Amino acid sequence: MDNLIMLAFSAFIIENIILSQFLGICPFLGVSTKRSNALGMGLAVLFVMLISSSVTWLLYKYVLEAFNIGYMRTIVFILVIASLVQMVETFLKKVSPALYKALGIYLPLITTNCGVLGVAILNISKEHNFVEMLVYTTFIGLGFLFVIYIFSMLREKLNLAPIPKAFKGAPIALIVAAILAIIFSRFGGII
Amino acid sequence: MNKKDNFVKGIIKENPLFVSLLGMCPSLAVTTSLENAIGMTMGVFFVLVLSNLIISLIMNSGKLAELVKPVRIPVYIVVIATLVTIVEMVMHAFLPSLYFSLGVFIPLIVVNCIILGRAEAFASENKPVDSLIDGAGMALGYGVAIMLISIFREFLGKGTLTIWGDLQLNLTFLFDFLKIEPIAMFVQPVGAFLTFGLILAAITAIANNHKNKIAKEVKNNG
Amino acid sequence: MNKGLISGLVLLGMGLVCGILLSVVNYFTAPRIKEVEDAIKYEALGEFYDLSDFDISEVNGTGDFGTIFILKDKGSDDIQAIVYTVRAQGYSDSGKVEMLIAVNSDLSVEDYKVVSHSETTGFGADIVDNDFNVDSINDLTSFDSVSGVTKTSNAIKTCFNLISQRIAADLGGGLSE
């Protein structure tokens, strides 16, 4: 149990997916301009991550490893993720057209989100068992949501600040991200 | 456009990292040393050039193209993923230290927006030779970009420039001369965001300057 | 046949082609990859032996024994050597002395290494890289301890003794995997 709490804490903060592992940067810079978009994106990514990691974990353990075709991992994983995102898209269109419209182009882009494929692969390379995989994936997803939400709040304020022309947009966002990264990296000293 | 322009556009005008902001995830993680950046460039080059070529061949082949069109995104993904897996296996077998430094970012070349982006935007609608040149230019542009970032990060953060394995330029004497230590934060996540942000700002400033100059010239001549 | 089905089949066909291509590449790279992975796993062993001469398997030891590596001749069942991870209490209370000791099938000691310890710097810590002058695992009469540190040197001696008590059974195939 201790082990799982440590895993959760480290997945959420210390090895935070955006600020420490650099996965999921594209939506981080692209979607974080409005709080509501960031929240929607974060929840969508968390959902896709959980299902895709579970499915790919099971596929790896019971199909790829069993038939000794572990090298097919990348192809199989990305195809699973692409189909899943397609299904989520269709589902959202029917159930919540407003959210679907708000997320716009960023919803299909979850397929190319390094974070989703990254977490699926990390679960395998870190040799997690099923429970560890669920805990790790959930807290990685929550860490993504947490950071992207904080960042969107900062960016809303940033839009109103007088920023030199060369820095407007991505550059200043990256520098603010640098400061967030320092804060999160200091948590590493706690354990 | 002629072949030379096609190639060069990927390096400066339409640089995938600095202009289109594609492929940011690996460029922040992999740039801790010049050697890693060089290795990543080789991987991306192999995948991008071949995927552009293969996808262009498929989409220009008349009947096959018609059949593929409705499922073209999954087909692109399968082609790109296969190429990436080949890179993975070859690196694991023959360049193990590079494989372990680049880690999860080798399979993540599959979701590098540059590759899928060029496949959909260029390769599917242009001839194979042009697509090959476009791929090469884009990959080199990406390579130049990440090598630039890693030169800054490695030099400021460790004082060295590692080109390949033992081939290393040890410039720590410059730091000793100024009586300071290399600034370790540059090889940490902070430094990644900071370096990238500052370089982007510099490039935007240069581009704006350039645009203003041209605008002024047009005004003066008009 | 409707178009959707044909497109689906094309996709499947591509998948198969790619799968076959990858299995070909795998055929060529897999042996080399295994070598790379083994070199890392058995890094410590690589200091004692040339790993490409052997088939290596491992067993988890109990009590004061950690991982035990069994080195057999390639393709045969004859044990050529066993490398033990073994621990014993030294002077320090905060940890045991841990050693890797490689014993050949003729009971000669191939080599050994102190992997970790909590002994005092300048005193017990001198056991690292020290030559204890042990040639045969059953014969510790020529054991050369580090002067002035009895308890620590005794820990080393204990490690060798623990192995000599079980080496005969292990070489006879007593280690189950």
Is the pLDDT at A164 greater than 80, yes or no? yes
Is the pLDDT at C177 greater than 60, yes or no? no
Is the pLDDT at B75 greater than 60, yes or no? yes
Say yes or no: A69 contacts chain C, CB-CB below 8 A: yes
Listed residue (B118, B151, B155) closest to B9, CA to CA: B118
Chain B residues whose beta carbon lies within 8 Å of the beta carbon of residue C29 = 89-90, 92-94
**DSSP track, chain B:** --HHHHHHTTTTTT-TTTTT--SHHHHHHSTTSHHHHHHHHHHHHHHHHHHHHHHHHHHTSTHHHHHHGGGHHHHHHHHHHHHHHHHHHHHHHH-HHHHHHHGGGTGGGGG-HHHHHHIIIIITTS-HHHHHHHHHHHHHHHHHHHHHHHHHHHHHHHSEEEEETTEEEE-HHHHHHTT----GGGGSHHHHHHHHHHHHHHHHHHHHHHHHHHHHHHHHH-
Q: Ranked by mean pLDDT, which of A80-84, B68-72, B171-175, C77-81 comes out on top?
A: A80-84
Is the pLDDT at B199 greater than 60, yes or no? yes
Report the percentage of chain A scoring pLDDT > 70.
97
Question: CA of C20: which chain A residue's CA is closest?
Answer: A72
Decide if C81 contacts C102 (C-beta within 8 A).
yes
What's the one-letter identity of residue B136?
A: A
Chain A residues whose beta carbon lies within 8 Å of the beta carbon of residue B88 = 71, 74
Say yes or no: C19 contacts chain A, CB-CB below 8 A: yes
Q: Ranked by mean pLDDT, which of A99-108, C24-33, C68-77, C115-124 comes out on top?
A: C24-33
Chain B residues whose beta carbon lies within 8 Å of the beta carbon of residue A117 = 107-108, 110-111
- Whether B85 sits inside 8 A of C6 (CB atoms) is no
Which of the residue ranges A161-175, B66-80, C116-130 would you say has the lowest mean pLDDT? C116-130
Chain A residues whose beta carbon lies within 8 Å of the beta carbon of residue C23 = 69
**Mean pLDDT rounded to a whole number for chain C:** 82
| Nearest-10 crossing angle of helices A73-95, A114-125 | 130
Size of the B and C interface in Cβ pairs below 8 Å: 51
Question: CA of C33: which chain A residue's CA is closest?
Answer: A71
A:74-93 residues touching chain C, CB 8 A cutoff: 75
- Whether C26 sits inside 8 A of A75 (CB atoms) is no
Which of the residue ranges A20-29, B168-177, C102-111 would you say has the lowest mean pLDDT? B168-177
The predicted-structure confidence for C146-174, as pLDDT tens digits, reads as follows 888 888 888 888 888 888 888 888 887 77
According to the model, what pLDDT value does residue A31 have? 73
According to the model, what pLDDT value does residue B52 have? 93
The predicted-structure confidence for C130-140, as pLDDT tens digits, reads as follows 888 888 888 77
Decide if A141 contacts A50 (C-beta within 8 A).
yes
pTM for the structure as a whole: 0.80
Across B73-94, average pLDDT: 91
Say yes or no: A154 contacts chain B, CB-CB below 8 A: no
Which of the residue ranges A81-90, B22-31, B44-53, C86-95 would you say has the lowest mean pLDDT? C86-95
Across B5-21, average pLDDT: 85
More confident residue, A152 or A191: A152
The predicted-structure confidence for B87-121, as pLDDT tens digits, reads as follows 999 999 899 889 988 988 999 999 888 898 888 88
Closest-CA distance, C116 to chain B, in angstroms, reads 26
The predicted-structure confidence for A71-110, as pLDDT tens digits, reads as follows 888 889 999 999 888 888 888 888 888 878 877 777 888 8
Q: How many CB atoms lie within 10 A of CB C124?
A: 24
Chain A residues whose beta carbon lies within 8 Å of the beta carbon of residue C21 = none
> Smallest Cβ distance to B78: which of A75, A122, A168?
A75
Residue C20: its H or E element: helix C3-41
Is the pLDDT at C45 greater than 70, yes or no? yes
According to the model, what pLDDT value does residue B1 have? 65
**Residue B207: pLDDT band with limits 50, 70, 90:** confident
Tell me the two tokens of residue A113. 């989100």
Is the pLDDT at A142 greater than 90, yes or no? yes
Which residue, chain included where needed, has tokens 């005794």? C154
Tell me the two tokens of residue C177. 């995997």
Say yes or no: A167 contacts chain B, CB-CB below 8 A: yes
- The sign of the dihedral angle between the CA atoms of A45, A120, A25, B78 is negative
**Dist. CA B221–CA B33, nearest whole Å:** 47
**Mean pLDDT rounded to a whole number for chain A:** 86
Say yes or no: A63 contacts chain C, CB-CB below 8 A: no
Closest-CA distance, A150 to chain C, in angstroms, reads 41
Closest-CA distance, A65 to chain C, in angstroms, reads 14
Chain A residues whose beta carbon lies within 8 Å of the beta carbon of residue C20 = none
Residue C27: its H or E element: helix C3-41
Chain A residues whose beta carbon lies within 8 Å of the beta carbon of residue B82 = 75
According to the model, what pLDDT value does residue A120 have? 93
Closest-CA distance, C98 to chain B, in angstroms, reads 28
Whether ipTM exceeds 0.90 = no
Question: CA of C13: which chain B residue's CA is closest?
Answer: B75
Is the pLDDT at A1 greater than 80, yes or no? no
Q: How far lies C57's CA from each of A71, B98, B145, C175, C176, in Å?
A: 24, 27, 46, 11, 11
- Whether B85 sits inside 8 A of C32 (CB atoms) is no
According to the model, what pLDDT value does residue C137 have? 81
**Dist. CA C49–CA C66, nearest whole Å:** 19
Tell me the two tokens of residue C148. 């002035």
Q: How many CB atoms lie within 10 A of CB B61?
A: 13
A:112-171 residues touching chain C, CB 8 A cutoff: none
- Whether C19 sits inside 8 A of A71 (CB atoms) is no
The predicted-structure confidence for A45-71, as pLDDT tens digits, reads as follows 999 999 999 999 999 988 887 777 888
> Smallest Cβ distance to A26: which of B85, B113, B204?
B113
**Mean pLDDT rounded to a whole number for chain B:** 88
The predicted-structure confidence for C84-137, as pLDDT tens digits, reads as follows 888 888 888 777 888 888 888 888 888 888 888 888 887 777 788 788 888 888
According to the model, what pLDDT value does residue A191 have? 58
Across C25-49, average pLDDT: 82
| The Cα angle at residue B189 between residues B187 and B191, in degrees rounded to 5 | 55
Closest-CA distance, B212 to chain A, in angstroms, reads 13
More confident residue, A91 or A143: A143
Half-sphere exposure of B130 (CA within 13 A, CB side): 16
Chains touching C (at least 3 CB pairs under 8 A) are A, B
- Whether C4 sits inside 8 A of B70 (CB atoms) is yes
According to the model, what pLDDT value does residue B222 have? 63
